[in-house]
Amino acid sequence: MKRSQIRRLDDRLINQIAAGEVIERPASLLKELLENSLDAGADSIDIEIERGGMKRIEVSDNGFGIDKDELELALSRHATSKLNCFDDLYRINSLGFRGEALPSIAAVSKLRIASKITEANSAFEIQCHGGQFLAGPAPCAREQGTTIEVTDLFYNTPARRKFLRTDTTEYKHIDQNIRKLALSRFEVGFRLSHNGKNMLDCPAAANESEKNQRISTICGEEFAQNNLHFSAEQADIKLEGWLGLPTFSRSQRDLQYFYVNGRAVREPMLAHAVKRAYADVMYSGRHPAFVLYMSISPEVVDVNVHPAKTEVRFKDTRQIHDFIYRTLNKVIADLRPGDNIPPARAQLTSFASDSQMNDPNTITPQTSQAYSSIANYQSRGRQSTGQGAFRFNAEEQLKGYKALYPDDSVSLQSVTTETQDPGQDAGEIPPLGFALAQLKGVYILSESAEGLILVDMHAAHERIGYEQLKRVFAEEPIMQQPLLVPIRVQLPEQSVRAAVENITIFERVGLIIETVGETELVVRQIPVVLNKVDVSGLIKDVLSDIAELGMSDRIEQTIHEIFASRACHGAVRANRRLSLPEMNALLRDMESVERSGQCNHGRPTWVSVSMDDLDKWFLRGQ
């Protein structure tokens, strides 16, 4: 190969190379423009798209605007209003700051910018084709703010253009980016049209009701009805947002939004923390849905990791991971029957809509929507339409219960008083009601204040046993087993160093290891619960996690899997006849145990059918 001389590239080629890093497709171009509008303080943004953005993209906002004398400078590389000095790189609060977006866009398209600042009497515009200025700044008509129009993307780089997909595919990417940004700024209104057709309208949201409406618009009505809103703080970190209920899972990661200081990010560590929080309540192969916001000091997070600014790096990764995991795990674990969660009503198979029956994403049992189990079952005095159902107050229901089952050895008064909250009236029906009968030796039928409860007794007992095993392991000293013949583990040198640096990960669960030379570990002692586990393979998996994420809870996961298996084998089996006292005891345990809505495999343990739904099924009053 012939030697080539080192030479300086011309500005047009430099901008086109930068465009290759920043502008992958119309969606990434639009993302840069929208972030500029948000950084400019806009609270209203209009987007017009033609042919999936390949023909034309126009973004208009009512932000601060760009001064006439700065229009040409805005199209110069590394020119920005968002950084003033070197120290600003370590406390970045804006979405864009590299100063590469506009010159990169201008280098591969036909660009027009029109803008007006508050102090100016007139707006001015400038035009640029393929990085070459054509005209301007020239006066134009518009109110305060900025309009940027991009046409014929990649017209001068046909090799890039041929890698674009169909108009429909490119528009889908644009739609995803806009929805992602719309969830990041509730105070900003977004309007989108494609080929002249209005596609999305999200007015600015000022209160909780309007925020919930935007969540419904972006994430769908089902997510809006099946989520938990929460907020938690620790030191200078705040985490809040909407968590999808465990039974509202997806086949893909298409409803997962994580924001750090208002910036949508993709970070394996964050995803791992959320996944671990759902580990005990999620089907294998299913993915949770969530919209989460983390606020943290800009000085401890580096957003200058990727040209598209979609990745971040934290100063203390372990602290962030642990905080996210503990917070979300507690939110999910604290769910109890009777919590005031928007209910999902049960539906008969024959009455289920086509969209529900065919949706591959949402787990919806044919006979009921699974998580009505944590609806608020306090009586709300509903009146049935039509003929109406017989309604009894708590005292009458207890008397009827006693009359039906006079031999019941459990005191009904003691059952209600022991399970009720201190502020509740004596005799109030518990969230899961009282058992009526057992169906086919599999299900418990119970009458609650709202209607009928159906409980999978094996799944429920399995969850109760599993939580008890975990609690004992966490609270009592770990039983350890010294090894007569130590286990030797051969590893690369860097893995041995990582094991030494993270020795507490092993010691906290009773796994004692020592180094032998630079490439070998020796296991001297293990917890009894791991006596049938491939400890050598487990240690290698832990060190792989540390290399990738900087942490690992693989050992705890393995122990929990063993506990889950034990709980499954120890739970009551089908066709086991339970007495009414046993059934009621199971119901009361479910009301107190963590994560009682699902078994260890993520299946629902119980469902609810309201009286209103029963009336509809039997067409009462119609």
Domains and CATH numbers, the chain: 11-200 (3.30.565.10), 220-333 (3.30.230.10), 349-464+575-617 (3.30.1540.20), 478-570 (3.30.1370.100)
Tokens read off for 247: 């039974």
d(CA 531, CA 483): 10
d(CA 24, CA 419): 59
Q: Within 10 A of 485 (CB to CB), how many other CB atoms are there?
A: 5
3-state SS class at 439:
strand
Tokens read off for 320: 């962030």
d(CA 192, CA 30): 12
Please, what is the Cα angle at 164 between 161 and 170, to 5 degrees? 130
d(CA 147, CA 45): 10
CB 245 within 8 A of CB 371: yes
Residue type, 120: A
Strand partners, 388: none
| Residue among 462, 214, 229, 226 nearest 363 (CA) | 226
d(CA 321, CA 311): 15
Tokens read off for 11: 């500005």
DSSP state of 604: B
**How much is the pLDDT for 307?**
65
Widest CA span in the chain:
100
Query: Could you read off the pLDDT of 40-50 as tens digits, one per residue?
Result: 999 999 999 99
Tell me: cis bond preceding 103? Omega within 30 of 0 counts: no
Q: 588-591, long-range: CB within 8 Å, 24+ apart, which pairs?
A: 588/415, 588/418, 588/419, 588/430, 588/432, 589/464, 590/337, 590/432, 590/455, 590/460, 590/463, 590/464, 591/336, 591/337, 591/338, 591/419, 591/430, 591/431, 591/432
Q: Within 10 A of 318 (CB to CB), how many other CB atoms are there?
A: 13
Residues in the chain where the model's pLDDT stays below 70: 17-21, 83-91, 96-99, 306-308, 338-427, 622
Q: Within 10 A of 484 (CB to CB), how many other CB atoms are there?
A: 5
Query: Could you read off the pLDDT of 273-284 as tens digits, one per residue?
Result: 999 999 888 877
| Residue among 257, 259, 233, 232 nearest 244 (CA) | 257
Please, what is the Cα angle at 55 between 54 and 59, to 5 degrees? 90
**How much is the pLDDT for 339?**
64
**How much is the pLDDT for 550?**
84
The torsion angles phi and psi of 512, rounded to 5 degrees, stand at: -100, 120
Helices 493-501, 535-549: inter-axial angle, 10-degree rounding: 80
